[in-house]
């Protein structure tokens, strides 16, 4: 047992392609000393599709949207963002609306999560 100071390795799958993710999950599912991370669980290592994150430069966010997004990620409210950027709350809402649209998110929390996943912002 001297060897077993090594704890189980927990692998997180971060793969968009469902087919590939499935195959990997099956292949990696039954290996002693290794298991897949439960959703939301902290992992030892991550399996990612080739080309970590920065896939395309798609999403095309404007500078102002990036400003707003960054502050959103800090947990700032619309009012605070408005004050920070020197614009009105209405304008902030406008940008937030655009972000929800472009990031295909249902709310600001979802927007930040999506953006982080895609590498648009760094948490």
Partner DNA sequence: TGCGAAACTGGCCGGGTGGCCAGGACAGAC
Partner DNA sequence: GTCTGTCCTGGCCACCCGGCCAGTTTCGCA
- Summarize as ranges the residues that interact with a second copy (CB under 8 A): 6, 9, 11-12, 14-15, 19-20, 23-24, 27-28, 31, 33-34, 37, 39-50, 52, 55-56, 66, 69-70, 72-75, 77, 105-114, 116-117, 119-123
Contact flag: residue 52 with DNA (CB under 7 A):
no
Question: Angle at CA 62, nearest 5°, toward 60 and 68?
Answer: 120
For the segment 5-44, give every residue that binds DNA (CB under 7 A): none
Contact flag: residue 85 with DNA (CB under 7 A):
yes
For the segment 88-107, give every residue that binds DNA (CB under 7 A): 88-91, 93-97, 100, 107
Contact flag: residue 77 with DNA (CB under 7 A):
yes
> Which of 42, 54, 60, 123 is the binder for DNA (CB under 7 A)?
60
- Interatomic CA distance for residues 12 and 39, integer angstroms: 8
Decide if 112 contacts 72 (C-beta within 8 A).
yes
Task: Choose the contact partner of 55 out of a second copy, DNA, none; CB within 5 to 8 A by kind.
Answer: a second copy
- Interatomic CA distance for residues 36 and 32, integer angstroms: 11
Give 80: exposed, middle or buried? Use CB within 10 Å, 0-12, 13-18, 19+: middle
Q: Give residue for tokens 């295909």.
A: 104
CB of 83 to DNA, least distance (A): 11
- Interatomic CA distance for residues 69 and 24, integer angstroms: 33
């Amino acid at each position: 047992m001297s060897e077993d100071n090594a704890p189980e390795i927990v692998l997180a799958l971060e793969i968009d392609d469902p087919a590939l993710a499935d195959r990997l999950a099956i292949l990696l599912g039954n290996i002693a000393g290794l298991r897949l991370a439960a959703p939301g669980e902290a992992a030892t290592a991550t399996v990612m599709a080739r080309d970590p994150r920065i896939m395309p430069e798609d999403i095309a966010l404007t500078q102002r949207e990036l400003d707003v997004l960054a502050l959103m990620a800090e947990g700032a409210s619309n009012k605070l963002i408005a004050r920070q950027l020197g614009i009105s709350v209405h304008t902030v809402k406008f940008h937030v609306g655009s972000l929800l649209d472009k990031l295909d998110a249902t709310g600001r929390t979802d927007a930040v999560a999506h953006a982080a996943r895609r590498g648009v912002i760094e948490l």
